[in-house]
Amino acid sequence: MVQRYRILETDIEMFAAALSKAHVYIAFDDEEAGYKYVVAHGGRLEMYSPDFVRIAGVYYSRKTYEFRVHLW
């Protein structure tokens, strides 16, 4: 299957997504079930720090969730 999204992992990637006002969505890796699923369809990245990301007024832990942008 072709990966049609990019995972935002570094501060530079977060900065680029915030600067370009890209639509970011949030995924969660359920290790017990053995798959990842989208938790929220998100929105624009409003703020990020080494520990948290704020999207659409909601804070998400960078250690718990995966942040993705679509590649068109």
Whole-prediction pTM value? Answer: 0.84
Question: Alpha carbon 57 to chain centroid distance?
Answer: 14
The answer to whether the beta carbons of residues 27 and 35 sit under 8 Å apart is no
- Residues 14-71 pLDDT 10s: 999 999 999 999 999 887 777 788 888 899 999 999 999 999 999 999 999 999 999 8
